[in-house]
Structure formats: C-alpha cells, structure tokens
Amino acid sequence: MAQETATAKSFRDLVVWRKAHEYVLGVYKFTSGFPKQETYALCSQMRRAAVSIPANIAEGFRKRRKADKVRFMNTAEGSLEESRYYLILSQDLGYRNTDALVRLLEEVSRLLNAYSGAILRSDL
C-alpha cells in the first residue's frame, strides 16, 4: 500500500479508488430497481453517499499536506459508514438483497483504512 501511494500518478491508479468507483456503479444499478417513491428519498441519499467515497479519495489524492490528505480520507470513511446504513435500511425494507454490495463495501473499507494508515506513516 505504501508503495502504491508513492508510485500512483493519478487517483485512478489507486486500488481503493477503483474499488470505491466499482461500489458506486453497483449502487446505481441496485437503486435503479427501487420503488418510484424512493427516487428522491433513499435512492438519492444512497447514491450521494456512495459517490462521496471515491470523490473524496480523488480530492485528497492531490493534497500536499498529510493532514489535508487524511481529512479527505476521513470524510470518505464517514460516507462509507453512511452507505453501510443505507444498505441495512434497504435490506430491512425488502427492496433487494444487499449481500454483494455489503461485501464490496467491506473491501473498500479495508482498503481505505490501509490507505489512510499509509498516509499517516509516510514522510510527506
């Protein structure tokens, strides 16, 4: 992970960003089957929280100071937890099975945690 941070030329080179982007695409597909009354409610909230994860990773990538980078990763982690709740709610409302998205979100969580740790340990 530390080597990836040092060699990445763009946020798109980061495995964590690619997995987070994959999660967003999955959320868009997942929410496309929601009931019409959820279009401006849960569907919109789920998409916004999901998009915030890779967007904050991307924004933080170009920050020069360690504290700034970590702040954006922390914001991404907050959006990740918000997304986790929306998956629970969707499952409990019986909209669709969330198992695949939960597994992907767990992977993003592990990667994001490792990436944040690598930033904190770096010599920026």
Q: Domain 2-121: give its CATH architecture.
A: Up-down Bundle (1.20)
Helices (H) then strands (E): counts for the chain: 5, 0
Of residues 29 and 2, more confidently modeled:
29
Q: Would the pTM count as exceeding 0.75?
A: yes
**Per-residue confidence (pLDDT) for residue 6, from 0 to 100:** 58
Which tens digit of pLDDT belongs to each residue from 112-123? 999 999 999 988
Question: Both tokens of residue 42?
Answer: 């849960």
Which tens digit of pLDDT belongs to each residue from 61-110? 999 999 999 999 999 999 999 999 999 999 999 999 999 999 999 999 99
Q: What percent of the chain has pLDDT over 90?
A: 91
- For residue 47, what are the CA distances in angstroms to 31, 50, 104? 8, 5, 15
